[in-house]
Structure 1
Amino acid sequence: MNKITPDIDSATDGRSARWQAHRSQRHEELLKLARKAVHKLGPQVSMEEIAAHAKTSKPVYYRYFGDKEGLRQALGAVVISDFRDSIIAAGLAEGDEAGALRAMVTAYLELAKGSPNLYFFVTAQTPDVLTAPDRAATGSTGVLNAFFDEVTSLMNERLSAHFAAHTLTPSNATALWPRAALGMIRSAGELWLRQPDAPGKPSLNELAEALSSWLTHGISTNSRS
């Protein structure tokens, strides 16, 4: 009996490991298919439409993600992680503070423009993430807040370096600037994404330049004589 038990346990562990690997692989596959469905069909896409686009059944998605919000959270974690990697890298790659800000704004706009449908899907229902992060601690909202925390920390470092380089003393309100700046970038970017392509719509580079200028020098720097 004692000789058989280890073999039984080993076989059970092997089956369990294979099942977990299968579930993990299927989970990733369903996420990729959902990402394509949202990109093509829009942020208001239903679970039924996502399942149909993936050529599977709606219960399969419910089994793996619970509901649409669970799918949004899982997909958001992946997409926002991509945002994080690109934007942080852009900010770190620039030597001067103004260049770092512009690079981060540009990276943000480029990623959002790459798939506005996906962007709006994963950032839906997160109005408090910038002004009340303590009320947004789970799911894709939690990931988004962690991302904003990291960007805020990087902006604070660059801001401190700017003040030190110019022998300036920050005011008490300066600590609010990074999160306020992120709110402005996000709001302007989303307004821009929703604008139809038509004469008069700023290009991505024009908007990135304008936002960077507004945040560092004020609105008057973009006025035309």
Structure 2
Amino acid sequence: MISSSAATRPGDGRATRWTGQRERRRREFVAAALRAIAETGPQVSTAQIADEAGIARPQLYKHFDDATDLQRAITEEAALLVTTALRPLWEREGSAMQLITVAVDAHIGWLAENGNLYRYLSMQSHSGRDAVADVRTVIARQLTQLFEHYLTLFEMDTRVAETVAFGIVGLVDSCTAQWLETRHRVPRAELAALLTRWVWRLLDDTLRTGGVELDPHITLPPPPPRPALRPA
């Protein structure tokens, strides 16, 4: 007869299989939650998520500790989607104006297509942490690395890179988030043009302060590939 302790000993593999199955099911339920948020809105209920997943509501809690655990998993996945969508921007080749234009348009485009998901992120706070702030931080850190590369190339002090990066991300994200709620007032193309111009002026001022006058339309050497960052 096999004892209960023998049945669950590390070597028999059943605990590992259960852990793997649980993680797979968690991912499936999170994917269902993202679909429910997109369709229903940021106030989505656990019952609506369960309906989208095709299960009874109590079954969710066989795979999540509680509602907070489920919300945290959804938030982490949504944040990862944002940063993954923007990752190719940090490895592009082009002029400063081209890079700014593409980055601004990509950010506006993501929010326009995923408005409910962004609103959901804005509503979530776990252990005193702001989900949107976490995403902004990851994007700003990616941008910091990019700026450090070019400031080094121009033989400038790289200490300003982080401050400039966080300033630009805050500007673009806050303006776009506000536009998301009142987009009928300003057409998307006009918003993109405004933000592109403002970002360039901020960068141009930073460069000129360091003694560099850069033509925004000349092609810059591409940055080196870097590992992707993700929300902590």
- The reply to whether TM is greater than 0.5 is yes
Match of 1:208 among 166, 172, 192: 192
How many correspondences in the alignment?
197
Q: Does structure 2 conserve the Cα–Cα contact (< 8 Å) formed by 1:43 and 1:121?
A: yes
Match of 2:144 among 156, 162, 176: 156
Deviates more, 1:112-121 or 1:38-47: 112-121
Letter in 2 for 1:212: T
Match of 1:182 among 159, 169, 189: 169
Q: CA deviation at 1:167?
A: 7.5
Instruction: Tell me the SS of whatever aligns to 1:64.
Output: coil
Matched, 1:192 2:179: yes
* Normalised TM-score (structure 1): 0.70
* Normalised TM-score (structure 2): 0.68
Q: CA deviation at 1:125?
A: 3.9
Q: Does structure 1 conserve the Cα–Cα contact (< 8 Å) formed by 2:30 and 2:74?
A: yes
Instruction: Tell me the SS of whatever aligns to 2:62.
Output: helix
Structure 1 segments, 4+ long, off by >6 Å, are: 7-12, 164-170
The CA deviation string for residues 58-89 of structure 1, in whole angstroms up to 9 with x for no partner, is 22223323344322321222222222122121
Q: In 2 relative to 1, CA 169–34 (structure 1 residues): closer, same or farther, beyond 3 Å? A: closer
Q: Which residue of 2 aligns with 1:221?
A: none
Q: Percent identity?
A: 22
Cα distance between partner residues in 2 of 1:154 and 1:53: 34
Q: CA deviation at 1:41?
A: 0.6
The CA deviation string for residues 130-181 of structure 1, in whole angstroms up to 9 with x for no partner, is xxxxx63xxx83x962x544432343344456656777778x8775322122
Cα distance between partner residues in 1 of 2:38 and 2:187: 23
Q: In 2 relative to 1, CA 113–19 (structure 1 residues): closer, same or farther, beyond 3 Å? A: same
Q: Does structure 1 conserve the Cα–Cα contact (< 8 Å) formed by 2:78 and 2:121?
A: yes
Matched, 1:36 2:35: yes
Deviates more, 1:56-65 or 1:161-170: 161-170
Instruction: Tell me the SS of whatever aligns to 2:105.
Output: helix
Cα distance between partner residues in 1 of 2:13 and 2:155: 64
Structure 1 or 2: larger helix share? 1
Report 1 or 2 for greater relative contact order, CA contacts < 8 Å, sequence distance ≥ 6.
2
Q: CA RMSD in A?
A: 3.5
Letter in 2 for 1:27: R
Structure 1: segments with no counterpart, 5+ residues: 1-6, 127-134, 219-225
Q: CA deviation at 1:29?
A: 1.3
1:33-112 superposed matches below 5 A: 33-112=32-111
Q: Does structure 1 conserve the Cα–Cα contact (< 8 Å) formed by 2:42 and 2:117?
A: yes
Letter in 2 for 1:189: T
Instruction: Tell me the SS of whatever aligns to 1:63.
Output: coil
Q: Does structure 1 conserve the Cα–Cα contact (< 8 Å) formed by 2:100 and 2:200?
A: no
